[in-house]
Amino acid sequence: MNGVLVTGGAGYIGSHVVQQLVARGERVVVIDNLSTGFREAVHDAELVVGNVGDRELVTRVLDHHGLDTVMHFAAHTVVPESVSDPVKYYGNNTCNTCNLLASCTDAGVQHFIFSSTAAVYGMTDAGIADEDTPTQPINPYGMSKLMSENMLRDVSAASPMRHVILRYFNVAGCDPSGRIGHSAPHATLLIKVACEHAVGKCDSLCIYGTDYNTPDGTGIRDYIHVEDLAAAHLRALDHLRRGGSSLTLNCGYGHGYSVREVIDAVKRVSGRPLNVIELPRRAGDLAMLIARSARLQDVLDWHPKYDDLDFIVGTAFRWEQKMVRQVEHAG
C-alpha cells in the first residue's frame, strides 16, 4: 500500500490534510519539530518529532515506511518576520526543502505536493493573479517559497518524480467538527486575530490602511476555508497517482472580502462588539489580491464546499471559544 509523508503535519494546514488523508484510509506518517505544531493535532497517524532538513532522519523514515508521496508543509510563514530575519526563512523554507528533496530523490519518492503561497506573485497590476502571472516576490517569505518551487521543478525534470505546487491565498477557518484548529500563538492572519479579540484574548483589533482604492478603503483578500484547501491536496494526490503531469495551481475562491467585511462577519457570528483601531498602511501590503483558480477546478475537479464568509468565521470563532474553555478548565 502506498503511503504519505506529511512534513509539518502537526501544524495548522498540515493537520487538516492529515485528518482528511486518514479519514479516507491513507497510511500517513508525520514529521514535525513541534516548533509551531502541536502533538495533539495529529490523530491516527505516526508522529516523528524531527527536522525535515535532517537528511538522515527523513531518508530513514521514507525507507522504513516505504512511502512514495511527500506533502511538504513545514515552513515559517510570517511575512514581517521574514523581512526582519531573512536568514531564518531561507534556512528553514529553502535550505531545508533542498535537503528534503535530496532525501526524496535518494528514496525514490514518486509524488511531491508542495505548500506554496500567493506571496510569490508580489505586486500585481490588477490585484488578480492566475498561474501565469509573473512571479515577483516583495519579501523573503515569498522568495523563499519561489526558490523552493524552482528547485522542485528542476528535480522533477531530472528524475521520475512528479509534483503539484499549490499556491495558497488567505487560508482561514478550522475543522467544522472542532477536532483540530489553528492553535499557533502570535498569529497574524486576520480572521484568527479578529476571533481571538472576540473571545477576549486581546484588547483590540487593528486595521492597517483605510485609504486603499477599494470600495470601503480597506484591503481585499481571497479567503479559502482550510478544509477546502485540504481537499485540494487530496485531489492533487489522486491526479499524480493517475499518472498526471506536474502542475502549479492557485488555491482560492476567485473573489474577495475587505478587512471591514471580515470584521463585520466576526461581529455577526460572535454577537460581540469589537474595539477596532485604524492605523496607517504597512509597507508592502497590497490593496487587493484575488486568485484566478479555474485551473484548480478544471484540472483536479475540485469544487469548494465552504465558500461562505460567515461559515468560515464561525468555525474559527468556535475554535477560539474551545481554546478559552480549555485554559479555564486547566486553571
SS3 (DSSP) at 170 = strand
Map out the domains of the chain as residue ranges: 3-172+223-251, 190-221+254-290+307-330
The pLDDT of residue 329 is: 76
Cα(39)–Cα(33) distance, integer angstroms: 10
Among 12, 89, 141, 257, which one carries the catalytic annotation? 141
Rounded to whole angstroms, the Cα distance separating 243 from 131 reads 21
> At residue 42, what is the residue type?
V
pTM score of the predicted model:
0.96
Question: Given a cut of 80, is residue 284 above it in pLDDT?
Answer: no
Mean of the pLDDT values across residues 246-256?
98
Closest by alpha carbon to 71, among 16, 146, 150, 135? Answer: 16
pLDDT band for position 188 (50/70/90)?
confident
Q: In this model, does residue 1 exceed pLDDT 70?
A: no
Asked about 223 being catalytic, the answer comes back as no
pLDDT per residue as tens digits for the range 81-104 = 999 999 999 999 999 999 999 999
In percent, the amount of the chain with pLDDT more than 70 equals 99
Handedness of CA 146, 149, 154, 155 (dihedral sign): positive
Please write down the long-range contacts of 264-269, taking CB distance under 8 Å and 24 or more positions apart.
Answer: 265/309, 265/310, 265/313, 266/191, 266/194, 266/195, 266/197, 266/198, 266/313, 266/317, 267/198, 268/310, 268/313, 269/310, 269/313, 269/314, 269/317
User: What superfamily does domain 3-172+223-251 belong to in CATH?
Assistant: NAD(P)-binding Rossmann-like Domain (3.40.50.720)
pLDDT averaged over the chain?
Answer: 95
Q: Which CATH superfamily is domain 190-221+254-290+307-330 in?
A: UDP-galactose 4-epimerase, domain 1 (3.90.25.10)
pLDDT digits (tens, 9 = 90+) for 41-87: 999 999 999 999 999 999 999 999 999 999 999 999 988 899 999 99
